[in-house]
């Protein structure tokens, strides 16, 4: 029986934040789902997995390949993510051995899929979904409400102490900031922390944020993105949820990334006006059309 709902990929982009550094973002999609994974910049003393540029890029690639193969309209995403994380754990520990938790690779995840009863969002970490309904209303979904504001607050403390992001373009080069970041990273995916992400901790799947995505009037347009592109809304205030999706539809994702890089590299390269930990972040997004068959009862489903 055909699915009453359909996801159609309209546009995609992934762009490294800095030339010469690995892009630690990935995106993927199949007939039933689309997703973005944003690898968290490593805080360890060395890289353990060869061939990807960084351990963060490896875990994002590892997850993307397996989600593309296994995620469909019927399987429980928690079961799939739990199994993938267990595989990743075994692979990483076999190579790296015992390492401090701050050195464990992880990434945020934002995803949409069709189900037999509608559309479903799920995610971990600070990547997000912007949704523009055909009727003009918009929605914003993020697994960690307030994540962008909290990071801006912490980045502002770093900027105030050092007078800017720094010559390397990353706050990790400052010993005190690195120590603070490591302390917070070590608490991720533990009962003592507040943040659950995708990586080598299978139990994180139990904390997966899952939300039904209602579509009224026959359809909507969705933008799944890493926190890099989300800065156009959360940090630079150039758009709101609805106008960001509309701009992606009208101008294309490449134009939005160019606009983001203008803010980062030309208007505020040292983070004095718009506090952040990196001058430029890896940026990845998928623009999707969500459509419902005309005779489907799901056309009138609402929050």
Cα separation, 206 vs 204, in Å, equals 5
Span 132-141, average pLDDT: 94
Cα separation, 230 vs 285, in Å, equals 9
Residue 160: burial class (beta carbons within 10 Å; 0-12, 13-18, 19+):
exposed
Span 46-70, average pLDDT: 97
Q: Is the pLDDT of residue 301 over 70?
A: no
Q: Is the pLDDT of residue 107 over 90?
A: yes
* Local structure of 146: helix, strand or coil: coil
Q: Is the pLDDT of residue 302 over 50?
A: no
Question: 40-54 pLDDT, tens per residue?
Answer: 999 999 999 999 999
CB 236 within 8 A of CB 274: yes
Residue ranges with strand state E in 40-177: 106-115, 118-124, 128-133, 138-141
Span 58-62, average pLDDT: 98
Half-sphere exposure of 233 (CA within 13 A, CB side): 22
Compute the mean pLDDT over every residue in the chain, rounded to the nearest whole number: 92
**C-alpha distance from residue 258 to each of 13, 95, 100, 148, 238 (Å):** 11, 38, 37, 21, 13
Span 239-262, average pLDDT: 98
Of 237, 283, 221, nearest to 258 (Cα)?
A: 283
pLDDT classification of 136: cutoffs 50, 70, 90: very high
Span 111-138, average pLDDT: 96
- Counting every residue written for the chain, the total comes to 303
**End-to-end CA, the chain:** 26
pLDDT classification of 110: cutoffs 50, 70, 90: very high
Question: 190-239 pLDDT, tens per residue?
Answer: 999 999 999 999 999 999 999 999 987 679 999 999 999 999 999 999 99
Stretch among 56-60, 120-124, 170-174, 271-275 having the lowest mean pLDDT = 170-174
Q: Is the pLDDT of residue 303 over 60?
A: no
**pTM more than 0.85:** yes
CB 283 within 8 A of CB 127: no
Q: Mind giving me the DSSP string for 22-66?
A: ---EEEEE-SSEEEEEEEPPP-SSS--STTSSSHHHHHHHHHHHH
CB 112 within 8 A of CB 119: yes
Beta bridge partners of 290: 7, 220
CB 87 within 8 A of CB 184: no
Torsion of CA 241, 194, 105, 29, to 10 degrees: -40
CATH number for domain 5-148+197-267+282-299, candidates 3.40.50.12160, 3.60.40.10, 3.80.30.20, 3.30.70.360: 3.60.40.10
Percent of the chain with pLDDT over 70: 93
């Amino acid at each position: 029986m055909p699915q009453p709902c359909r996801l159609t990929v309209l546009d995609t982009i992934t762009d490294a934040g800095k030339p010469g550094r690995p892009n630690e973002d990935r995106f993927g999609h199949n007939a039933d789902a689309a997703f973005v994974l944003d690898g968290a910049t490593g805080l360890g003393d060395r890289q353990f997995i060869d061939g990807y540029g960084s351990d963060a890029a490896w875990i994002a690639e590892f997850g993307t390949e397996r989600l593309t193969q296994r995620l469909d309209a019927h399987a429980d995403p928690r079961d799939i993510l739990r199994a993938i994380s267990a595989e990743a754990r075994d692979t990483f520990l076999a190579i790296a051995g015992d390492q401090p938790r701050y050195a464990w690779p992880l990434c945020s995840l934002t995803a949409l899929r069709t189900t037999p009863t509608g559309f479903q969002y799920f995610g971990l970490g600070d990547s997000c979904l912007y949704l523009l309904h055909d009727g003009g209303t918009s929605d914003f979904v993020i697994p960690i409400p307030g994540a962008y504001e909290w990071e801006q607050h912490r980045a502002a403390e770093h900027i105030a102490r050092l007078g800017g992001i720094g010559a390397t373009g990353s706050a990790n080069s400052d010993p005190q900031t690195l120590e603070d970041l490591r302390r917070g990273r070590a608490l991720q995916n533990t009962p003592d922390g507040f943040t659950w992400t995708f990586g080598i901790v299978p139990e994180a799947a139990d904390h997966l944020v899952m939300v039904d995505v209602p579509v009224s009037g026959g359809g909507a347009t969705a933008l799944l993105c890493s926190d890099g592109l989300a800065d156009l809304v959360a940090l630079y205030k150039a758009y709101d949820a609805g106008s960001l999706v509309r701009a992606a539809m009208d101008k294309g994702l490449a134009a939005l990334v160019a606009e983001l890089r203008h803010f980062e590299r030309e208007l505020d390269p040292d983070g004095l006006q718009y506090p952040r930990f990196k001058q430029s972040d890896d940026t990845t997004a998928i623009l999707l059309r969500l459509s419902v068959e005309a005779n489907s009862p799901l056309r009138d489903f609402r929050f």
